[in-house]
Amino acid sequence: MTYEAIMDMKYLDQVVNETLRKNPPFGMLSRETTLNYKIPGTDCILEKGTSLHIPIYAIHHDPEFYPNPSKFNPDNFSEEAVKNRHPIAFLPFGAGHRACIGVRFGMMQVKLGVIIGLRKFKYTLSPKTRQPIKLQSKFFVAQPEGGIWLNIESVD
What is d(CA 13, CA 93) in angstroms, rounded to the nearest whole number?
15
Residue 100 confidence (pLDDT):
84
44 is in an annotated binding site: no
Residue 6: how many other CB atoms lie within 10 Å: 16
Beta strands in the chain (DSSP E): 29-32, 37-38, 45-46, 51-54, 121-125, 150-154
Amino acid identity at 75: D
Residue 140 confidence (pLDDT):
67
**Phi/psi of residue 49, each to 5°?**
95, 0
Residue 134 confidence (pLDDT):
81
Please say whether the beta carbons of 52 and 37 come within 8 A. Answer: no
5-to-9, 27, 73, 108 alpha-carbon distances in Å: 7, 32, 23, 11
Q: Is 85 exposed, middle or buried (0-12, 13-18, 19+ CB in 10 A)?
A: middle
What is d(CA 34, CA 28) in angstroms, rounded to the nearest whole number?
19
pLDDT < 50: residue spans in the chain: none
Residue 23 confidence (pLDDT):
87
Residue 136 confidence (pLDDT):
75
Residue 16 confidence (pLDDT):
97
Per-domain residue ranges of the chain: 3-120
User: pTM of the full predicted structure?
Assistant: 0.84
Residue 138 confidence (pLDDT):
66
- Would you give the DSSP letter of residue 145? T
Residue 139 confidence (pLDDT):
65
Residue 131 confidence (pLDDT):
87
